[in-house]
Amino acid sequence: MAASSLILASSSPFRRQLMENAGLAFEAIAARIDERAIEAPLERSGATPDEVALHLARAKALEVSGRHPAALVIGSDQTMSLGDRVYHKPPTLEAAGEHLRSLSGKTHRLNSAVAFARAGTVVWEHVAHADMTVRPLSDGFIERHLARVGDRALLSVGAYQLEGEGIQLFEKIDGDYFTIIGLPLLAVLGELRRLGEIDG
């Protein structure tokens, strides 16, 4: 690896595991930003889900880059949309049930953005998509499913973890696994090679 260090500007154990599994040497440092305070005015102004995700990814990368200017910082964020509705993590299991009822029998989109920053400047950014088709779900199934997974349903914006029992909600998925988890890793690795940060 080149002289500069690599930092993942995230507290997400899922993103950290993706990078660890890929054999990357990096440090994980959470960004000190208020995501909702950034999102709210963007959504009011009519920003697209892609734009919101990219704005948050940039904000995370730039905040950590300001504290570690010599490092290459990776910021990432994901939004989830169905038509004009942008979803947020459900605060309660009741809200998680409402999420799942609204997704039943429909195709929603995950928008995963990533931004690289160095010395307080964004040097690269990218957005990847995955289209997720939920099978028709009965109210009874949703209740039983949430009873099994419990508070884990509150950890993700869609109220599911694809790597766990959440896979039972779907009938079709278009998109790669890394984009779904929240870090478009193939694009990230390609750019790290281009920058000489990892062995190409």
Active site residues: 77
d(CA 95, CA 142): 12
Residues 6+ positions from 14 with CB-CB distance below 8 Å: 163, 181, 182, 183
Tokens for 85?
A: 């509705």
d(CA 79, CA 35): 12
Tokens for 113?
A: 């953005």
Q: Helix 35-44 and helix 49-67: axis angle, to 10°? A: 150
d(CA 105, CA 100): 10
Residues 6+ positions from 180 with CB-CB distance below 8 Å: 110, 112, 130, 132, 162, 173
SS3 label, residue 36 = helix
